Amino acid sequence: METIKFEQLAIQPEILRAITDMGFEEATPIQAKSIPIILEGKDIVGQAQTGTGKTASFGIPILQNIDPKNKSLQAIVLCPTRELAIQVADELRKLAKYLHGIKVLPIYGGQDITRQIRAIKAGTQIIIGTPGRVMDHMRRKTMKLANVKMVALDEADEMLNMGFREDIETILSEVPEERQTILFSATMPKPIMDITKKFQKDAQIVKVVKKELTVPNIEQYYYEVRPKNKPEILARLLDIYNPNLSVVFCNTKRMVDELVEELQGRGYFAEGLHGDLKQSQRDRVMNGFRNGKTEILVATDVAARGIDVDDVDAVFNYDIPQDDEYYVHRIGRTGRAGRQGIAFSFASGRELYKLREIQRYCKTKIKAQPIPSVSDVAEARVSKVFENISETIEAGGLEPYVEMIEEAINVNDYTTLDLAAAFLKMVMGENEVATEEANQDFENTGAEEGMVRLFINIGKNQRVRPGDILGAIAGESGMPGKLVGCIDMFDKYTFVEVPKEFAHDVLNAMKHAKIKGKNINIEPANQR
C-alpha cells in the first residue's frame, strides 16, 4: 500500500499544523487522490466508502482557497442532514484552527433563522448547510451568492435519496457559473452522473473502492489487561497457543523496543521492526522471521505495512490501534489462504470503547476471554507433551528405550507410572502442575460463590491496612484490583477473597511477596 503524507500535497503550513494536532499521520487514499485536483481548481467527482475521510478531502482545499480578508460568502457545502452539517463544520473548524479570520457556519432547519441570518452577515465565508435551509436563505436573499467560488456536495447519493434533487439543482443554477463544483459520494448511481453532466465542467473522476472489510475465518479474542501486566499475559498466551510465527503490534516505536527486550529476556525469539531501523537492519529482522529463526515479530503499523508477512499463526494487538482500519490490516496478517487464524487484543480503560467501535466498524465479533492462569499454561503444555509422545510412539524405534526402562524398574523398584510421571515433571520444568488437592482446597474456603477466601498471617497489629493487601495482590499477581472481593482484617491475620480463576495466580505470586516489608504466609482459608 502506497502512502502519502499530507506534507506531499502542497497544503499550507497552518493547515498541516492543524492536521498534526488532529492526529492524522498520513492521507487516506481518497484524500491523497482528490486534494491535489481540488487545489488545482478543477471540478471533481470523488467516490469512496463511508469513513474514508472525505470531509477533509474537500475541507482542506476549500479552506486553503478561502480569502480570509474577504468577509463575504465564498464556499457552500451541502450535506444531507443536520447532524452531518454540524459534523462537517466541526471538522473544518479543527482544520482551520491556525488560520485566522475564517468563519465556518452550519445552517440547518429547525434552528432559529434570524440567528443564522445574523451569523451569516457577521462575515461567514463557508456555509455548511442542508439543501432545504440553504434554499430558504437564498429565497430570503439573506445569503449573497455573488462571491461563491466553490460548492461542494457531500454525501451526494444520500441527498438524492432524501429527495433534495430539485433543491440542489436550484442552488447550483443560482451560484455564479465561474465556480468550482466538488461532489463526493459513497456510491455513484445514474442521477449523480446526471448532475455531474449538467453542473460540472470537465469533472475529474476519482474512485477509491475499498477492500471488503469483513474479516472471515479469524478467531478474535480480547483480554482486559492492565498495561503493566501485558508482558506476562502475552507470554502465557504464547505458551498456551504456541504459534510458530506471530506478529505483535504496538502503537509506538518505544513500546516495540521495550517489548522486544522483555520477550528476549524471557527467552522468546523475538525481534522488533519500526521506522527507526536502517534498511540493513530491517532486512536482517525480516530474513530471520522468514526462515523461522525469529518466531515473534514486534512491529508498529507503519513498519509492518511495507513487508509481506502474510501467513502468521497469530496476531497480537498489544496496543489497540488508533485507526479502525489498522485493526483489519493487522489481523489480516493471519488466517490467509483458508487457514484458521487467531487474533488477540489487549485492552484496558478507554481502549475497551475503542474495541467496541472496531467491532461495529468491522462488523465482527471480538470475544472477551478470561486471562489465562498459570495452571492453564501448564495444562496446555501437558497436552502438547502428550501430543509429542503420541507422535514419538507412532514413529517407532522405542525398543532400546523399553529395555532401559525395564532395567530401571527392576533395579529401583519404581513403577512405570512413577517413571512416566517423573519424566513429565522434568519436561514441564517451571510450569508446575497444581495438585488435585490444591484445587479442592478452593472449594471449601467459606467464600462467596465463584470466589476463594485466602488467609494471610498479617493484620492490624502489623499496621497493615486493607489497601496494602489489595495493592500487594493486584501488584504481584497482575489481577485487576477491582476483582478483589471483601477483605476482613483482624489483629493478627486477614481474610481476602479473590475470584476462583485467579486464586492460583494470587497464591503463586504472593508466595514470595512482602507486605509493608514483611514476609507473609498466604493459603486458602479453612472453612470454620
50 forms part of the interface with ligand ADP (CB under 6 A): yes
Q: Site for ligand ADP (CB under 6 A): which residue of 11, 24, 124, 135?
A: 24
Minimum distance from CB of 184 to Mg ion (Å)?
A: 7
51 forms part of the interface with ligand ADP (CB under 6 A): yes
Minimum distance from CB of 135 to ligand ADP (Å)?
A: 23
Residue that is written with C-alpha cell 436550484 in the block = 170
Residues 6+ apart with CB under 8 A from 257: 272, 274
333 forms part of the interface with Mg ion (CB under 5 A): no
54 forms part of the interface with Mg ion (CB under 5 A): yes
Touching ligand ADP, residues 53-82 (CB under 6 A): 53-56
The Cα 212–Cα 191 span in angstroms is 25
Q: Residue 56 touches which of Mg ion, ligand ADP, none (CB < 5 to 8 A by kind)? A: ligand ADP
* Helix 374-395 and helix 230-241, axial crossing angle in degrees, nearest 10: 20
Contact 104, 126 (CB under 8 A): yes
Say how many residues touch Mg ion, by CB under 5 A. 1
3-state secondary structure of 419: helix
Minimum distance from CB of 52 to Mg ion (Å)?
A: 8
91 forms part of the interface with Mg ion (CB under 5 A): no
List, in sequence order, every residue forming a beta bridge with 296; answer none if it has no partner.
246, 270
Closest CA to 368 of 229, 522, 214, 222: 222
Q: Pick the closer one to ligand ADP by CB: 52 or 445.
A: 52
47 forms part of the interface with ligand ADP (CB under 6 A): no
28 forms part of the interface with ligand ADP (CB under 6 A): yes
Query: How many of the other CB atoms lie within 10 Å of CB of 112?
Result: 8
Q: CB under 6 A: which stretch of 50-58, 110-118, 205-213, 434-442 binds ligand ADP?
A: 50-58
Q: Site for ligand ADP (CB under 6 A): which residue of 11, 15, 27, 233?
A: 27
List, in sequence order, every residue forming a beta bridge with 107; answer none if it has no partner.
129
Q: Pick the closer one to ligand ADP by CB: 84 or 312.
A: 84
How many helical (H) and strand (E) elements, i.e. helices and strands, does the chain have?
21, 20
Q: Report which residue's Cβ sits closest to Mg ion.
A: 54
Minimum distance from CB of 88 to Mg ion (Å)?
A: 7
Q: Can you read off the three cell numbers belonging to residue 179?
A: 465556480
Q: CB under 6 A: which stretch of 36-44, 45-53, 164-172, 476-484 binds ligand ADP?
A: 45-53
Minimum distance from CB of 325 to ligand ADP (Å)?
A: 9
Closest CA to 172 of 153, 193, 157: 153
Minimum distance from CB of 29 to Mg ion (Å)?
A: 15
The Cα 224–Cα 343 span in angstroms is 14
Residues 6+ apart with CB under 8 A from 9: 27, 31, 32, 35, 36, 39
The Cα 290–Cα 285 span in angstroms is 9
272 forms part of the interface with ligand ADP (CB under 6 A): no
Q: Residue 35 touches which of Mg ion, ligand ADP, none (CB < 5 to 8 A by kind)? A: none
Closest CA to 327 of 353, 360, 290, 358: 358
Catalog residues that contact Mg ion under the rule CB under 5 A: 54
Catalog residues that contact ligand ADP under the rule CB under 6 A: 24, 27-28, 31, 48, 50-56, 91
